[in-house]
Structure 1
Amino acid sequence: MTRQDYGFFGPDSPTWKVWTAPTALIGFQRSVVLEHFDPFLTAAVADLRGIYTDPVGRLDRTLAYFLTVAVADSPTVLALSEHLMKVHAEATGIEPVTGKRYSANNPKSQLWIHVTGWHSVLKCYELYGPGPLSPAEEARYWADCVVAAELQTCKPSDVPASRDAVRDYFAAVRPTLCVTERAREGMHYLLRTPRAQGKVRLWAMSRLMAPLTIASLPKWMRELGGFDQFRAVDVAVRPAARLAMLAASPPRAKLAVVAGTLPMTHRALRDHLRGETPVRPEIVTPSQARYLTEAS
């Protein structure tokens, strides 16, 4: 399929650089674990059971969505976003701790997913990849994060647009976070997925990444989730991870990491790495993309 435009961020964006780095896999594991601190998201995951019955498919679709938003052309992103919202519209039920109704499309829950995803991927890029972005790149990265939020149900005006704003957001939502038995089950399953049902590659990958994911988290989250580890492990894994991520940085190596395990993610990354010049070599906004789609 011919690429129509550069999407919402473009070739010189820090978003393309950060989201296509091999460290994004660690950041993704980090973010899906953190989702479970939201009791309403925990209820949705636990009721649907998707990560338990089809962990590869469920995780692959989620990561492919984030990657597609970051690097694909605007028609592809809009189509996928609309499909995802329709799927989420069916995910409703009662959260058992509060007795309140949950919805996967709830703006507050969507904001938690969005912020933890973009923050986690950048955090792991800094810890295990090339290091911090320049001040100008970081400012643009968080501006891109706000743009990407337009593809979900959260309000862009609620999305933190700087590192300090992200810290303020986490501080504001912390009193609303909690861990239940089902939340711990999900967190531990995602950190170290069992080998049953032919999930050998995911079993191995999750266990290799788990110490890195845990090392990137604050102490209170590790203790609350029941997956803390010794500080010596935190210190030991970082240099080894940096070397592994450096080795996985060439395009062929990036593709090899996800090949055979995450097919949708592999396809999105492969299409991006082809570097195809689009029909319209321009960056668009979500509102412009919607207008062009409706007008065509």
Structure 2
Amino acid sequence: MRDADPGLFGPESVTWQMHGDPMMWVAGIRALYLQALHPRAVRGVMQNSDFRNDAWGRLMRTAGFVGTLTYGTTDAAERAGTRVRKIHSMLGATDPTTGERYGVDEPELLRWVHCAEVDSYLQVLRRSGFRLDAAQADRYIDEHRESARLVGLDPATVPASTAGLAAYFEKVRPELAVGPEARAVDDFLRKPPVPPLLVPARALVWRRVAGLAYASLPPYAHELYGRPAPSARTVTRRLVATGTALRAVPARVRWQLPPGHILKAMARLGPDARPAPYKLTRRAAILDEPGRAQQNDGGDSTRWRTPG
């Protein structure tokens, strides 16, 4: 088991522990809302996919890609990245106002999608009760410069800390707007098409989950969409309640859902590879022990490995 491939991040990473949390699904919906605010980026999606009729498929493919990058072997992650880069290289979009034709793999668009995802995962999990200290939050963002590389970005051009991520959003905000494509995403997420038998479940479950994802967006996003949200304190309370309920479902039950990335990783690396938030708390406590850093070659061995 010791020689098994830990993949891009490995069980010692913040990413490994975070991405096993069920609130990642709420975070993924928040990411869609946020990503849709960039007109050029969302136009590339809407003009190259049947989003309205295959949104569920797109959600599952995105979840599968994130799962492969997190828990798959290095080779599987690299192959997934190669596929995504190849697909993106063949796609373009047209600005209906200017007639400009541009590629969906423009760095600024890939960077926006990347940052919206990373920010959503981090914000939703932390606000829902997943404990990360400031250093771990920075580490998570830094780790994901590796996933940025896989989709075709230069890691040096991607934020590596919470401060860097905040500065990026501040810089890009003037470019954000709600156009017809963003409205289409909003309409779908509020009321996705489902078979008649699932309409009650959509009203009971989905509407609440999507509403919570929307409410967790930053205030400027609510202003752009033109729909208010509860106070930040109320939203956080609801996120905590939802996170508590979802985490009460046994992990082994949750992990049986396809495509089973976590169970496959545990089979490859052994049971100690099981993702759990307490491992981050325990590691933080170890690193805080007086003199711990001085005991290990100047402290280098107390740092997580930088992916790549």
TM-score (ref. length: structure 2):
0.78
Tell me, in whole angstroms, the C-alpha distance in 2 between the residues paired with 1:199 and 1:87.
33
Deviation by residue 1:152-172 (Cα, 9 ceiling, x = unmatched) = 122211111111111100000
Contact kept in structure 1, 2:23 and 2:243, CA below 8 Å: no
Matched, 1:271 2:272: no
Tell me, in whole angstroms, the C-alpha distance in 2 between the residues paired with 1:66 and 1:147.
12
Contact kept in structure 2, 1:5 and 1:74, CA below 8 Å: yes
Identity %: 27
Tell me, in whole angstroms, the C-alpha distance in 2 between the residues paired with 1:55 and 1:91.
18
Q: Can you give the 5+ residue segments of structure 1 that lack an aligned partner in the other structure?
A: 287-296
Partner of 1:291: none
SS at match of 1:102: strand
Deviation by residue 1:51-99 (Cα, 9 ceiling, x = unmatched) = 2121221111112112221221110001111111122223212122443
Partner of 1:32: 32
Structure 1: 4+ residue segments shifted above 6 A:
197-202
Deviation by residue 1:251-271 (Cα, 9 ceiling, x = unmatched) = 223236xx3xxx4xx333442
Contact kept in structure 2, 1:194 and 1:203, CA below 8 Å: no
Tell me, in whole angstroms, the C-alpha distance in 2 between the residues paired with 1:20 and 1:147.
18
Deviation by residue 1:5-28 (Cα, 9 ceiling, x = unmatched) = 111211121101111111111111
What amino acid is the match of 1:120?
A: S
SS at match of 2:93: strand
Tell me, in whole angstroms, the C-alpha distance in 2 between the residues paired with 1:269 and 1:164.
30
Tell me, in whole angstroms, the C-alpha distance in 2 between the residues paired with 1:6 and 1:18.
16
Tell me, in whole angstroms, the C-alpha distance in 2 between the residues paired with 1:189 and 1:254.
26
SS at match of 2:82: helix
What amino acid is the match of 2:261?
A: A
Deviation by residue 1:94-114 (Cα, 9 ceiling, x = unmatched) = 122443223221111111111
Output aligned runs, 1:212-291, within 5 Å: 212-231=212-231, 234=235, 237-248=238-249, 250-255=250-255, 259=257, 263=258, 266-272=259-265, 274-277=266-269, 285-286=307-308
What amino acid is the match of 2:139?
A: R
Partner of 2:52: 52
Output aligned runs, 1:63-212, within 5 Å: 63-131=63-131, 133-196=132-195, 203=202, 206-212=206-212
Count of residue pairs brought into register by the alignment: 271
Contact kept in structure 2, 1:129 and 1:245, CA below 8 Å: no
Partner of 1:16: 16
Deviation by residue 1:179-205 (Cα, 9 ceiling, x = unmatched) = 102211112313442324887699465
What amino acid is the match of 2:247?
A: L
Tell me, in whole angstroms, the C-alpha distance in 1 between the residues paired with 2:45 and 2:170.
24
Contact kept in structure 1, 2:34 and 2:217, CA below 8 Å: no
Tell me, in whole angstroms, the C-alpha distance in 2 between the residues paired with 1:156 and 1:240.
36
Contact kept in structure 2, 1:20 and 1:67, CA below 8 Å: no
Contact kept in structure 1, 2:107 and 2:153, CA below 8 Å: yes
Tell me, in whole angstroms, the C-alpha distance in 1 between the residues paired with 2:130 and 2:154.
31
SS at match of 1:48: coil
C-alpha change, 1:198 and 1:106, in structure 2 (3 Å) is farther
Contact kept in structure 2, 1:50 and 1:58, CA below 8 Å: no
C-alpha change, 1:246 and 1:110, in structure 2 (3 Å) is same
What amino acid is the match of 2:214?
A: I
Tell me, in whole angstroms, the C-alpha distance in 2 between the residues paired with 1:270 and 1:69.
14
Contact kept in structure 1, 2:8 and 2:77, CA below 8 Å: no
Tell me, in whole angstroms, the C-alpha distance in 1 between the residues paired with 2:74 and 2:197.
35
Tell me, in whole angstroms, the C-alpha distance in 2 between the residues paired with 1:228 and 1:276.
46
SS at match of 1:276: helix
Tell me, in whole angstroms, the C-alpha distance in 1 between the residues paired with 2:136 and 2:38.
30
What amino acid is the match of 1:21?
A: D
Contact kept in structure 1, 2:33 and 2:185, CA below 8 Å: yes
Q: Can you give the 5+ residue segments of structure 2 that lack an aligned partner in the other structure?
A: 274-304
Tell me, in whole angstroms, the C-alpha distance in 1 between the residues paired with 2:175 and 2:260.
37
What amino acid is the match of 1:268?
A: H
Tell me, in whole angstroms, the C-alpha distance in 1 between the residues paired with 2:200 and 2:89.
31
Moved more, 236-245 or 218-227: 236-245
SS at match of 2:152: coil
How far has the Cα of 1:49 moved from its partner?
3.8
SS at match of 1:93: strand
